[in-house]
Amino acid sequence: MRSIFMAVSLLALSAAAYAGDDDIMASRYGNTLVIHDAFGTSRVYYNKDHTYTAASWLGDVSGHWKIENGKMCLYADKHPALYSLRYSNPECDVITAHKVGDKWTESGRDFELVQGIQK
């Protein structure tokens, strides 16, 4: 009986952690994160199923995302050959909650969350 209680408790904690990811990411689903850096502009599209696609200045990238220790980690499953010269895999950055229309700067890059899927 104790084992069942432990298993149910762990499952509840896992669900709560997963819901936390969704809460901070909710404003990004169906919208576009525009990133401006010294090399060019990229657009990232996050999906609720923890996948993403991106149109970067290097080419198209796709993979899955995870929130780990307060950081957003992008795991690129498909990317251009030159991608690995500029980015690590996974690429992890601080994640903060934002709403559509917000603009902010983090890690030397400018971010903007715009409404809808913008190519």
CA end-to-end distance (rounded Å), the chain: 54
Topology (CATH level 3) of domain 2-114: Lipocalin (2.40.128)
In the numeric block, the tokens 């220790």 are attached to 69
Series of mean pLDDT values for 10-residue runs along the chain (119 residues): 32 37 88 93 97 91 94 91 76 93 93 95
Q: What is the pLDDT of residue 21?
A: 55
Residue ranges per structural domain of the chain? 2-114
Is-contact 52 74, C-beta < 8 A?
A: yes
Q: Report how far residue 66's alpha carbon sits from residue 48's, in angstroms, rounded to the nearest whole number.
A: 11
Q: What is the pLDDT of residue 65?
A: 98
Q: What is the pLDDT of residue 9?
A: 30
